[in-house]
Amino acid sequence: MPQAKAFRAPLLHCLADPREVGIESSYEYFEDGLLVVEDGKVAQIGNAADLLPSLAAGTEVTEYPEALITPGFIDTHIHFPQVGVIGSYGAQLLDWLETYTFPSEGQFSDMAHAREQAQLFIGEMLRNGTTTALVFGSVHKQSVDAFFEQAEKLNLRMIAGKVMMDRNAPDYLTDTAESGYADSKELIERWHGKGRLHYAVTPRFAPTSTPEQLTLAGKLLGEYPDLYMHTHISENKQEIEWVKELFPERKGYLDVYDHHGLIGPRAVFAHGVHLCDNECKRLGETGSAVAFCPTSNLFLGSGLFDLAKVEQYGVRVGLGTDVGGGTSFSQLASLNEAYKVLQLQGQKLDPFKALYLATLGGARSLYLDDRIGNLQPGKDADFVVLDYKATPLIDYRLGQAKTLQERLFALMILGDDRAVKETYAAGVSVHRKA
């Protein structure tokens, strides 16, 4: 029998979407809680007073008194080959791609570079408490090999795919419809379902794929069970006009993907800032998901994501950082910006709903809520220890807070990687703050 381990701390996790069950029934909180982990999974969660007496003799108990344990954060949209251009000045989506993104992604033809970047990139996610992410590679299959090698070493639950892009990009970054299909297939065979890894068929966005390539992307989804589909949609108004010019025969942006069989469960569309009602309805009825990327939408001047509208149609919504268009790996920082994006539209983001978006909501949009997203027994033991004393200001502000809701909100507005004391994947520490 594997040795159980226990963690004693205040524990908070979501049980359901506050939108569906109300705030009070949406979460579970144990002021003096105990999380028991066995074989990489949650074995028990509850009050320390109830669970401690039944622990097997000799079980190691790690205590975090001035902290809060939550499930690991889930990032439903991020780019592995764009770490080097995070925080680059003065562009909107289309010139951002030309000026910064494409040259940075070009370097990933070099496996040594890709491996070095994979360590940096995954290290940065773990420093920020992110234990699962849906990740864009570059067009080169070795970028995905490098990413998955590192994720496998750390036994992380990760989803990634090679970009498919056969037009409207520099020669050094394009595949062909056939090579994109063949390379993706090779990566699927090598990685999909290995350990905790999953593959996502990843056309960059409609403008950079020919109809032939999109058809082959759809074919891949039909050939293997449980693959993901990961792309962008309706981020920027110029982009939307361009899609109309390139696909005049289609009814709109989403219809391009729909026509090629690229929507449905496990299809995740980043941004969706300018989706119309019909598109939201179609995404909702097909079980597709949208990744809300607030830091990126503000930074690239793309617009304000209308969470209420999208959710009204039953669309699954996760939270994305969209590094490098996004400006932080931190889901706390993303929630800080999400709150402001919604404020500007007269919407409120309750802190429990915010936690839901960053954890169980993300898991639900990835159809992984039976494995991750909260700390119910049987789930993967992926969790993060948030530090109530992370900075002098956080320490002082939380000292003034009278309720859990107030503490959680202040932590999300003031917190970032400094608020992450330790990150665990499958019950093993994968990052500890120095």
User: How far is 93 from 274, CA to CA, in rounded Å?
Assistant: 14
| Shortest distance (Å) from residue 291 CB to Zn ion | 8
Provide the 10 A C-beta neighbour count for residue 25: 11
- Interface mask (CB under 5 A) for Zn ion, residues 326-365, using x and -? ----------------------------------------
Residue linked to tokens 């391009």: 256
Q: Which residues in the 172-211 window bind Zn ion by CB under 5 A? A: none
105 near Zn ion, judged by CB under 5 A: no
Stretch touching Zn ion by CB under 5 A, among 87-95, 109-117, 223-231, 319-327? 319-327
Bond before 324 cis per omega within 30 degrees: yes
Q: Which residues in the 262-281 window bind Zn ion by CB under 5 A? A: 270
| Shortest distance (Å) from residue 259 CB to Zn ion | 22
Stretch touching Zn ion by CB under 5 A, among 13-21, 198-206, 222-230, 314-322? 314-322
- Type of residue found at 413: I
Question: Distance from CA of residue 405 to its chain's centroid?
Answer: 23
| Shortest distance (Å) from residue 403 CB to Zn ion | 36
Judge whether 154 and 129 are in contact, CB under 8 Å. no
Stretch touching Zn ion by CB under 5 A, among 190-198, 317-325, 346-354, 402-410? 317-325
User: How far is 178 from 343, CA to CA, in rounded Å?
Assistant: 46
Q: Which is nearer to Zn ion, 144 or 384 (CB)?
A: 144
Residue 34, strand partner residues: 8, 46
Stretch touching Zn ion by CB under 5 A, among 175-183, 297-305, 321-329, 405-413? 321-329
Q: Which is nearer to Zn ion, 331 or 423 (CB)?
A: 331
Q: Characterize the bridge pairing of strands 41-47 and 60-63.
A: unpaired
| Structural tokens at position 406 | 């107030």
| Structural tokens at position 328 | 């932080």
Q: Which of 171, 167, 165 is nearest to 138 (CA)?
A: 165
- ∠ CA 19-130-94 to the nearest 5 degrees? 85
Q: Characterize the bridge pairing of strands 163-164 and 67-71.
A: unpaired
Number of residues that bind Zn ion (CB under 5 A): 2
User: How far is 76 from 263, CA to CA, in rounded Å?
Assistant: 16
| Structural tokens at position 344 | 């500007």
Q: Which is nearer to Zn ion, 266 or 353 (CB)?
A: 266
Residue nearest to Zn ion (CB): 322
Stretch touching Zn ion by CB under 5 A, among 43-51, 256-264, 309-317, 322-330? 322-330
| Shortest distance (Å) from residue 325 CB to Zn ion | 6
| Shortest distance (Å) from residue 124 CB to Zn ion | 16
| Shortest distance (Å) from residue 27 CB to Zn ion | 30
Stretch touching Zn ion by CB under 5 A, among 115-123, 184-192, 316-324, 394-402? 316-324
Judge whether 287 and 258 are in contact, CB under 8 Å. no
Q: What is the dihedral of CA 73, 74, 78, 81, to 10 degrees?
A: 70
Q: Which of 230, 194, 202 is nearest to 138 (CA)?
A: 202
| Shortest distance (Å) from residue 204 CB to Zn ion | 9
For the chain, the C-alpha Rg in angstroms (whole number) is 21
322 near Zn ion, judged by CB under 5 A: yes
| Shortest distance (Å) from residue 170 CB to Zn ion | 18
Q: Which is nearer to Zn ion, 37 or 270 (CB)?
A: 270
Q: Which is nearer to Zn ion, 69 or 270 (CB)?
A: 270
Q: Which is nearer to Zn ion, 180 or 272 (CB)?
A: 272
Q: Which is nearer to Zn ion, 155 or 295 (CB)?
A: 295
Judge whether 286 and 325 are in contact, CB under 8 Å. no
- Type of residue found at 317: V
| Shortest distance (Å) from residue 234 CB to Zn ion | 12
145 near Zn ion, judged by CB under 5 A: no
| Shortest distance (Å) from residue 339 CB to Zn ion | 21
**DSSP type of residue 101:** I
Q: Binding residues for Zn ion, per CB under 5 A?
A: 270, 322
